[in-house]
Amino acid sequence: MDKIVFVTLMMADNMQKRHFPVDGNSLIEYPGETYYAINSVLAQTLKKEDTVKVILLETNAGDKAGEKNANYFIDELNGINKICGAKISYEIISSDFVNDKSKYKVLYKKLVGVLSQEAELYADITFGIKTLPILVLNALQFGEKFFDCSIGNVIYLKTEFKNGQIVEGSQCIYDITPLYMLSTFTNTIECSSGERAISALDALFEE
């Protein structure tokens, strides 16, 4: 299967490998340690017959952290893939820390430009500036609507800090795929009134 993975890269230069438990989907919990939460997910879901395109979203912050962290990701996933044997390619898409409307358009067109027909889409929206997740999630919806793509997992890594340090045991992968699907439901449902739409939403939650 063709898979496309969107990953927002960490901007800081202090990555550490950890084991990340998963909230809401034990099937994607990886027993080992990784730098990136999505690599824990991919370690559990990659198959030999998969062709995987990884899109690494780097935010330029005036230092070399993005490039270094991209290499962490690539080396890590390549190591995991020694067991899986999938075919993996990487593309780095860079954007500035300060964005404007014209740059949003350029970045969004780059994201949808990597989509392919009937691919399975994944996203890790843990890091980067706050506008990146919005663009990534919209790119996923674009893929579903116009390329007949399906959704694998949409995740982010929750982390608690105290005095600038990570609180041990606080990090946890949240599988927010159902939340993403709620957005898709809202955008695609057709009802004659707001009341009917709320009734449809109630029915969805009852399932």
pLDDT higher than 70, residue 97: no
CA–CA separation, 111 vs 131, rounded Å? 13
Query: Which of 108, 103, 101, 178 shows the shortest CA–CA distance to 136?
Result: 108
Residue 87 near residue 78 (C-beta atoms within 8 A): no
Token pair of 159 as six digits: 């982390």
Reply yes or no on whether the pLDDT at 195 is more than 70. Answer: yes
The yes-or-no verdict on residue 207 having pLDDT over 60 is no
Q: Is the pLDDT of residue 206 over 80?
A: no
**Domain range list for the chain:** 2-175, 178-207
The pLDDT of residue 56: 95
pLDDT tens across 6-42, in order? 999 988 777 888 888 888 788 888 999 999 999 999 9
| Cross-strand partners of 163 | none
To the question of domain 2-175 being in CATH 3.40.50.10640, the answer is: yes
Q: Which two tokens stand for residue 85?
A: 């044997």
Which of 93, 181, 198, 74 is CA-nearest to residue 137? 181
Say what the pTM is.
Answer: 0.89
67: amino acid identity, one letter: E
Cα 35 from Cα 142, distance rounded (Å)? 29
**Rounded CA separation 162/168 (Å):** 10
